[in-house]
Chain A
Amino acid sequence: AQRVTQPEKLLSVFKGAPVELKCNYSYSGSPELFWYVQYSRQRLQLLLRHISRESIKGFTADLNKGETSFHLKKPFAQEEDSAMYYCANTGGSYIPTFGRGTSLIVHP
Chain B
Amino acid sequence: DGGITQSPKYLFRKEGQNVTLSCEQNLNHDAMYWYRQDPGQGLRLIYYSQIVNDFQKGDIAEGYSVSREKKESFPLTVTSAQKNPTAFYLCASSAYREQPQHFGDGTRLSIL
A interface residues, Cβ below 8 angstroms from B: 6, 9, 32, 34, 36, 43-46, 49, 86, 88, 90, 92-96, 98-101
Query: Is the contact region of chain B dominated by helix, strand, or loop, or is it mixed?
Result: strand
Neighbouring B residues of A94 by C-beta, 8 Å: 31, 48, 50, 94, 96-97
Are A101 and B97 in touch, CB under 8 angstroms? Answer: no
| 9 extra interface residue pairs, beta carbon distance < 8 Å, beyond A44-B90, A94-B96, A94-B97 | A9-B40, A36-B103, A46-B100, A88-B101, A92-B98, A94-B50, A96-B101, A98-B42, A98-B43
Select from chain A the residue with minimum beta-carbon distance to B103. Answer: A44
B interface residues, Cβ below 8 angstroms from A: 31, 35, 40-45, 48, 50, 58, 90, 92, 94, 96-98, 100-106
Neighbouring B residues of A90 by C-beta, 8 Å: 97-98
Are B98 and A95 in touch, CB under 8 angstroms? Answer: no
Give bound CA distance, A36 to B37, whole Å.
14
Select from chain A the residue with minimum beta-carbon distance to B105. Answer: A43
Neighbouring A residues of B105 by C-beta, 8 Å: 43
Pairs A-B, 5 closest by C-beta atoms:
A100-B42, A44-B103, A98-B43, A46-B100, A32-B98
Neighbouring B residues of A36 by C-beta, 8 Å: 101, 103
Neighbouring B residues of A101 by C-beta, 8 Å: 42-43
Select from chain A the residue with minimum beta-carbon distance to B41. Answer: A100
Select from chain B the residue with minimum beta-carbon distance to A42. Answer: B105
24 pairs of residues in contact across A and B, judged by CB atoms under 8 Å: A34-B100, A43-B104, A43-B105, A44-B90, A44-B103, A46-B100, A46-B101, A46-B102, A49-B100, A86-B42, A88-B101, A92-B97, A92-B98, A94-B50, A94-B96, A95-B48, A95-B58, A98-B35, A98-B42, A98-B44, A99-B42, A100-B41, A100-B42, A101-B43
| Other-chain residue from A43, A93, A99, A100 in contact with B103 (beta carbon distance below 8 A) | A43
Given that A43-B106, A95-B48 are known contacts, is A86 also in contact with B100, CB under 8 Å in the complex?
Answer: no
